[in-house]
């Protein structure tokens, strides 16, 4: 789960990371009022969307007066911000963060990520802040500092100082840098984050270490331990299909193709999408219904897949271990009776009670295209999608 910049800054501030003065606004007038409350001579107006690259897309503006703040907000509110991370559809701007401008002397990149290879928290830093980490890796790879945290002891002060030394932090600011690193680490560890990024972390002309921007991502599976984090979720920034799936306990990722996938198990889902591509088609989604593929759950999956108007065929690929093929078959039959499905439906079952499942599909009288192998299912899905035949076409 992603959160907004202002939310990440508030969290990090509670862990000792210093941030500039700032306030949230939901209208141009409120933004100008927030700036007057803070005082100062210059302010930054930032669109609050779940995406990087806001500055290049016009989502970050420097303002000198109340009128400029209001004008900047008028250009943002209700618009779609399109960046390299949002794709062409963009993300809606419904709130802005007004922040007091600070005199910047240096910019630093700082990130904490979960390194799955070492199964450790990895700190990634660079003296080349202000750029995306991908740009830094490509253009200044020698500037990147990496340090792995040993979970048995956590981030020690000497390790944080070593990172500060490698970033050429002047001695008088080393302790402030250590506090920032320790604060980010504790926030990451204690809140089950999967990513904490400050870009840029700035050294100001008046010798302060400030988080000028902040991003945090959290492990969805650990949110039950942190209800205060769950409340920060902003569904307006999510793919509506993925939001609906999450609310129903399904794992869903929307894609740009037109063959919907209903599969049990992430590995099988990946193999199914690869096989669809191999057969000449394009998957419309990744949908893992998990281990409890009850008829009700399968029906929910169908409703979700069919909510995507781009779907022109649906492939159900189930390998039953804990699941049972007869349950899945009942779910498919129930879904096709309850949900308006006007596209070809291809079903491939394997594993526990597969014969019973095939009998249920055969006796249903519904226009279900059956397949025995994954390759056959993918080929029939692509053929049904490309065909001009009616969805009532039944292949046995």
Query: What are the binding residues for substrate?
Result: 264
From 314, 279, 232, 256, select the one nearest 50 (Cα to Cα): 232
CA dist., res. 236 & res. 8, Å (int)? 17
| 197 classed as catalytic | yes
Q: Residue 231 corresponds to which tokens in the numbers above?
A: 């409340």
Binding-site residues from annotation: 46, 53-55, 99, 102, 107, 199, 213, 264
C-alpha distances (whole Å) from 164 to each of 142, 150, 182, 186 are: 16, 18, 12, 18
* Given the residues 6, 97, 109, 185, the one annotated as active site: 109
Q: Are strands 43-47 and 313-320 parallel, antiparallel or unpaired?
A: unpaired
Tell the residue number behind the tokens 């039944």, with chain if given.
Answer: 394
Long-range contacts of 24-27 (CB under 8 A, 24+ apart): 24/48, 24/95, 24/96, 24/97, 24/98, 25/73, 25/95, 25/96, 25/97, 25/98, 26/94, 26/95, 27/73, 27/77
Q: Which residues are annotated as a binding site for Mg(2+)?
A: 199, 213
Verify whether residue 231 is a known catalytic residue: no
Could you give the C-alpha distances from 345 to 71, 227, 287, in angstroms and in order? 51, 39, 15
Binding region for ATP: 46, 53-55, 99, 102, 107
Catalytic residue among 5, 128, 197, 330: 197
**Residue 63 φ/ψ, nearest 5 degrees:** -130, 145
Q: Which helix (H) or strand (E) holds 147?
A: strand 144-149
| Maximum CA extent, the chain | 79
Residues in the chain: 396
Strand-pair partners of 283: 259
* 99-129: b (≥16 Cβ within 10 Å) or e: bbebeeebbbbbbbbeeeeeeebbbbbbbbb
Give me the active site residues, please.
109, 197
């Amino acid at each position: 789960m992603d959160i907004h910049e202002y939310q990440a800054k508030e969290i990090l501030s509670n862990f000792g990371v210093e941030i500039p003065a700032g306030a949230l606004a939901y209208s141009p007038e409120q933004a100008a009022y927030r700036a007057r409350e803070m005082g100062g001579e210059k302010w930054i107006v930032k669109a609050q969307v779940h995406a990087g690259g806001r500055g290049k897309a016009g989502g970050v503006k420097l303002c000198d007066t109340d009128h400029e703040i209001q004008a900047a907000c008028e250009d943002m509110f209700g618009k779609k911000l399109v960046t390299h991370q949002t794709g062409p559809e963009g993300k809606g701007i419904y709130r802005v963060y007004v922040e007091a401008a600070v005199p910047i002397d240096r910019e630093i990149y700082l990130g904490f990520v979960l390194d799955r290879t070492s199964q450790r928290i990895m700190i990634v830093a660079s003296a080349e802040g202000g750029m995306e980490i991908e740009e830094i890796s490509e253009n200044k790879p020698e500037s990147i500092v990496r340090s792995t945290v040993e979970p048995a002891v956590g981030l020690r002060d000497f390790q944080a100082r070593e990172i500060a030394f490698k970033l050429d932090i002047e001695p008088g600011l080393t302790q402030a840098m250590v506090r920032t690193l320790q604060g980010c680490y504790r926030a990451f560890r204690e809140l089950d984050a999967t990513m904490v990024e400050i870009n840029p972390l700035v050294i100001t002309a008046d010798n302060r270490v400030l988080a000028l921007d902040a991003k945090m991502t959290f492990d969805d599976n650990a949110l039950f331990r942190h209800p205060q984090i769950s409340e920060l979720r902003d569904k307006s920034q999510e793919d509506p299909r993925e939001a609906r799936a999450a609310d129903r306990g399904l794992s869903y990722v929307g894609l740009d193709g037109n063959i919907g996938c209903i599969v049990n198990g992430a590995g099988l889902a990946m193999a199914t999408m690869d096989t669809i591509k191999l057969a000449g088609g394009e998957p419309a989604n990744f949908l893992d219904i998990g281990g409890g593929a009850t008829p009700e759950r399968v029906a929910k999956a169908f409703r979700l897949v069919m909510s995507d108007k781009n779907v022109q065929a649906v492939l159900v690929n189930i390998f039953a271990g804990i699941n049972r093929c007869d349950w899945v078959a009942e779910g498919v039959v129930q879904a096709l009776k309850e949900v308006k499905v006007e596209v070809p439906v291809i079903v491939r079952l394997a594993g526990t009670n597969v014969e019973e499942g095939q009998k249920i599909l055969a006796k249903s009288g519904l226009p279900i295209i059956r397949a025995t192998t994954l390759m056959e299912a993918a080929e029939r899905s692509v053929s049904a999608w490309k065909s001009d035949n009616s969805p009532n076409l039944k292949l046995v």
